[in-house]
Amino acid sequence: MITVEEVVDEILNGLEDRAELVVIPKRKTLVAKASGFFRRYIEKRGFKGNEVQEAIELAKSLSN
């Protein structure tokens, strides 16, 4: 089990290092980073050109 003190220490270390991601416990880092990798992969493969920007603009126009 992870103690509150360990969590606080790791968060403070992450802030001091300006870490993009803080994972506690460290042994779960691979799993935590995998979601970001797959998200970027899916976005790159699933969306072409400016489809995302067009979808955002369409959503804005429909909400007005």
CA atoms lying within 13 Å on the CB side of residue 49? 3
Whether 35 has a pLDDT exceeding 90, the answer reads no
Tokens standing for 18?
Answer: 């300006």
Task: Please determine, for residue 47, whether its predicted confidence score (pLDDT) is greater than 80.
Answer: no
Which pLDDT value is given to residue 46? 78
Confidence of residue 31 (pLDDT cuts 50, 70, 90): confident
Cis ω before 25 (30° cut-off from 0): yes
Q: What residue spans define the domains of the chain?
A: 4-63
- Specify the pTM: 0.53
pLDDT band at 18; cut points 50, 70, 90: very high
